[in-house]
Structure 1
């Protein structure tokens, strides 16, 4: 009974030393095996890249690169331990990925909050600036309106204080018409007062004969010099119709010419008056 093992050991030694084709079969028959090429679908470089080529995985790797055998039972234990390390490394890598993702999400959220705060602060600044400009514009408009109203009141005061009013107390202040039957929005006295304020003169010659009225302003001051400003009117119905208008040597005898000359003289500085001061 003791002779058989000795013979088998001798045969194994001879096989290992002399016949490589018989080594794997003989080793396997005796309970020995080589380190696996792959563990859990990964080669050893991939296991190393995963960070798991330590412990049992490192032992298998060293046997693998040396081409050495290990007992099948030990190989099975190391194989399971290596798989467990790989699983842990994968889990750790996934956890790290999730942490990185959460950190990235949190960081992006922080950046978004900061950007939202920046935009909100910018909007507040813009709103304040818009309000300031609106207030400034409102103040400017208010001042302009006050100045305009003040200037308008001053013009009205000058118009109301024109000498022509005292000289024509007996003349009815009817609407002025440039053509028969078409009264304008200005009365006769307002028209004459506007001419006096715009072109100050040195006195009047006023002649009335029934429904006929002639007004001459002596030495009315204009850019071309002092001139005679003469206008003639006829009372037709309840209007004073302008029949003649001259400024120095310029004479307007047709209704259209009189209208154009009168508007040029007045410009935009004389506004229509109230037609209730008879």
Structure 2
């Protein structure tokens, strides 16, 4: 494991975990020790949950990809957030598993113990995250509704508009100055929506059938993207390439058609108006003359 974030940023830490199951116990203990060193106001039972959930996410990432994964730990000022990024694009979904089904049991643990959890596509594959802490929705102490702000260790601040529909607040303090361009380039305002669960198989990848979502997606906005078209809200849909629904009889085909038809209605009646409203709201707060590139310097405003 190699540290990737400097000690100059005391409330954010990242490292890589090799594809070895014996590495997981060391990593989960390291995460708890790190959070203890930050003196965050979390009780011991919550720290125990932190160790357990970190172990579940990292174990799943290593076991299902046979590759290393990246782990990021962050104290937001209210909650501890752990993010695990692996090379698989398959995002986790709750499955109605038997008590003996290890994967289903792990996800049920995350759902039952985490204050919040979720997953997001990543250029490397996907990121699965969870947060532990108060569940009253209190924002970080330096956060302002409708505005995000990233402050460097030199005291310079860069801020921008945070839409109400965005699920995450990129607000952060004490960011090393040389890491600010990377932080800005990574800002992604996002709101997820689910797709219909269908019985999929991938004959060249695995045997059998697994329930998974198709045409799920998110409303996304990347205000510092090099492509100006992606600096305004758009919808991204995930289509399962190489996945098949096999052996359908007329009744089975009718069931699939009904689910896709219902999802098409959902995209048209719910997602499209939400996207239109998001774009109109974004345009109100971002006249085209104020758009910035990812080379924005500390103190620039968006």
Give the TM-score category using the shorter length: under 0.3
When the two structures are superposed, what TM-score results if normalisation uses the length of structure 1?
A: 0.22
Greater Rg over alpha carbons, structure: 1
Q: Which is bigger in relative contact order (C-alpha 8 A, separation at least 6)? A: 2
Give the TM-score of the pair, scaled to structure 2. 0.20
